[in-house]
Structure 1
């Protein structure tokens, strides 16, 4: 049954109606994602920062990805409350202002940061494997892009600078959208009646915020294209190298990294792609919709609910990333199992030192050494 708090103005008596999907299912799902995501990301950050010494570029990217996921998790209880009680909040209430001015920007900022960091992580992995694998002929990536670019991608200070720059750029770019959305588009003129927080103004926005959303969609598809191209180049190089090499250990490394790439791509495509495709469709619907459908419910009510479900799917990645680390990364899995089994700190420290010694810096003169490092560093992906 749809939930709708009647909005009465001089021109309209329509409101956004909620079904049990938004009113009940999404709050429960966001609450569950908060519990699993908070525990998983705190554990992931602790392992990457405290248990693994000698941070590689991969570790830097994953630490920043974990921070982004953690911030996203913190917003989830408030988002759950917004969906459950948004139709009974006044648009002028403190909770509604919090949802509009804080939760929404944090949510979308961290989704953007996570996707950009994944794109840089893909480039870093591509540079490492392509340059330190010994196939029959060099990869086309090395011919197209300058060698200095590949060299810098494998440097920890460069990875740290990229992550800090990503946070600064995304946060700065979000400010104009927040100002337009929260201070202009969601400001309503009350005529003595109650305008609910869960409304067309909040959920659909205006032309200004929709323009910023289009920019975000374009950036997402550019990042997705970078990730796909980087991983396709690596897979192609793996295939060529496997056909020409007789080193079974390297073949096993390539097979494992290939499986890791498939899992990561599935997560990205399943979680993020549907929301960004539908968001573009939704913006077009919002711009052409007149609002009337012959009932008291706004004609965009169903489309808004679909958008919110897909947004929840996009946010789900913050809970699945720690599981992905556990399944794909032997070092992360080992420390996690040691923690669960209650191993002593001495044993953990000894294990960390041993693994750090195995993951020695790259040795360009030794193919075997390079392949060994690839085994450890690429399990992080």
Structure 2
């Protein structure tokens, strides 16, 4: 944990050719291991602690089931979170959408209250987040989590269009009556599943009162990320890339230097086959501040959008022919979707050198009625991924209720 991965490899006899190889570079890119979001080609030393990656690698190489990696059949909202939501709802869990946590209050070693700001008012008894979509091969429609609210269920729906309620920097003024949940009256235990990037703003009391929180916020770093998706008129064969279903990294010193062939999704998306023949997803770190700016910086999203567009333009005009030698310009792009993850809770949690020892365990928050959950906690993996978040959630459950009795990977480590 105290060494950089490449330093450790070299000290163990790794040649410079191995240390700088694309195979090793890909490991850094998988976890966005560039502080400040700088790209692999910039003057920056990528940062990931040796112990964390060497604990994860044996599980990845020797512990997978069926395939080394699996591709999802839709977005994470549809394939990961929608099934979880439906199962929990069926079990009686109450969900409150459009409720923004603004502050956690503590006294001594106890969480005493949580401030919440309802962003809108509903004109229905219970908000339904899904659009149900017919998908080929399935008898019944499947739940799809849309990228915008379902405005007809919201009193202020017409006014809300054009605002992004998920943005930390939104200029929307919350219209609901503020809520304060109190320990003993409204909850016995609270589970903090919001990501670490938000803590300077919502957990400042915890940070002030507890030195372990101070160290965690200081030493566990986060980074902005970005993505681009392109629906292409030519096939990848036509573009000059002939390996079907590829996932490729380290192909160029770009901030979008990891990409995946996602063409298999086109059939479910309903594109006419003569119009769109290929689908590409790109992702990578995004250069920016080490901590998200305050919500008063309402111009930050616009600046980030322009920055993301500039990175995409550079990729398409100067770098893409390394992958697609027959690419002829943007006229071959039927549609595109660009994304930049800049909000505090969206920032990717890194695994920089000497950071794992400062992570808190799910049941060791320092406040007796507060449990922790997320890939930022000290779990079996200590890397930003769904598996780490899931394990930490199970650890929080285990601490509260004793269930589950066994957590795979955490209690059965290869290393």
Same fold (TM over 0.5): no
> Greater RCO between the two (CA within 8 Å, min separation 6)?
1
Greater Rg by CA = 1
More helix by share: 1
Q: TM-score, normalised by structure 2?
A: 0.22
Q: TM-score, normalised by structure 1?
A: 0.23
More strand by share: 2
